[in-house]
Amino acid sequence: MRCSKCWGFNHKATVCKESDHIFFLDYKLIDSVGLFSELNSTEWNECWSGISADQKLDAFNKKLLSLRHRYVPFRSITVNNVSCPWFNPRIKHFINLRNRKYAVWKKYPTEFNWMKFRIAKNVAARTVHKAKSDYYESKLGCTKSTKTLWNNIKMLCNVEPNALNNFFVCSVGDNGSSSSVFLDIDFVDANEGFSFYCVSEDIVFKNIMSIKSNAVGLDEITLKFIKLILPFIISPLTHIINFCIITSIFPVVWKQAKVIPIEKKANASSVSDYHPISILPSLSKVRETIMSEQIRNHLNIFHLLSPYRSGFRKGHSCVSAMLKVLEDIKLHGYADDIQMYHSCRSVNLNDLVTKINN
């Protein structure tokens, strides 16, 4: 959404960067020796002695972010033409020429060098101006059909980020208080009751390693960094997860999501043309996976689900559901009715009425 103001119908007012900088964590240059050495001597007393799950998790996250900040360096790369569809090699040539003339003037600040720089600067500006004019003329020219013109207008108009935020917030109801306490779950069938139970470090380790998504939530803790130091943090992390299970608490930080708008269709022009994608912290997915696995195991052990249910079950899919429907059709003798229905669709309506009357 950064360049939402870059597009406009008045090309004279359009401002667009020639390049952009992208910052990312470079794990190839990580100081692994220093990181592992400090982890060996790190104390997790605040995680063990915290009164609430939120306090424990907050202390845990602060330590991870501090370690990442000191041992995983940031790198930046320059990406050209991030949002300038009108940018071309001719513009790049005159911009480079302008920069060279400016460097010469900085080194030798004479009147002649200043004049050469001003000429190169004006030529570059006119080239950019002409490229923008040609681009918007090609998109919004009078020779375009009405349908094409309006499609181009929708493509060039971006939605304001605040409008998207307001739309997403208003589209969902109030989720109640900010408390992270959830209701005590006690599903009881004729044979056995259900309750969540604490897990071992091996189960937490297995669930973390099974996560494939590299999306980063609002806590800014990457799954790659977690997996890198997992042997050193598995004990306090397991303690936090088990404490959440015992106290029936889901920490507030794990409920906060980074919301990204995704287009529902091409050339989205209004807030209703977007739908939100929520990215939760990686560690919250571990807690969810553990609880989901315990519920599934209980349902499977006591056979509480219909054997014909295919949704969200291992070994089941749309194919198994379709096979069940086909078998029911064959078993109950509906095949002849369906064949007659399709044959009737290919017969003229008047002929069909005549056959029925006869």
Q: Is 34 helix (H, G, I), strand (E, B) or coil?
A: helix
CB 278 within 8 A of CB 257: yes
Closest CA to 219 of 269, 257, 180, 163: 257
pLDDT digits (tens, 9 = 90+) for 266-281: 666 677 777 888 889 9
For the chain, the structural domain boundaries read: 1-26+73-157, 159-301, 318-357
- Residue 75: the pLDDT is 80
Q: Is it the case that residue 348 has pLDDT exceeding 80?
A: no
How confident is residue 20, by pLDDT bands cut at 50, 70 and 90? low
Residue 235 — pLDDT band, cuts 50, 70, 90? very high
Q: Which of 48-57, 64-73, 181-190 has the lowest mean pLDDT?
A: 181-190
Q: For residues 229 and 35, what is the distance between their CA atoms, to the nearest angstrom?
A: 9
Provide the terminal-to-terminal Cα distance of the chain, rounded to the nearest Å.
69
Q: What percent of the chain has pLDDT over 90?
A: 28
Mean pLDDT of the chain: 77
| pLDDT attached to residue 181 | 42
pLDDT exceeds 80 at position 156: no
* Each residue's pLDDT tens digit, 158-168: 566 667 667 77
239 pLDDT above the threshold of 70: yes
CB atoms within 10 A of CB 233: 20
Is pLDDT at 309 greater than 50 in this prediction?
A: yes
What was the pLDDT predicted at 273? Answer: 78
Which region, left, alpha or beta, applies to residue 303 given φ > 0 means left and ψ of -120 to 50 means alpha?
left
33-37, 204-208, 223-227, 350-354: which range is least confident on average? 350-354
Q: Is the pLDDT of residue 26 over 90?
A: no
**Lowest mean pLDDT segment, chosen from 95-109, 156-170, 305-319, 321-335:** 156-170
How far is it, in rounded angstroms, from Cα 207 to Cα 284?
A: 11
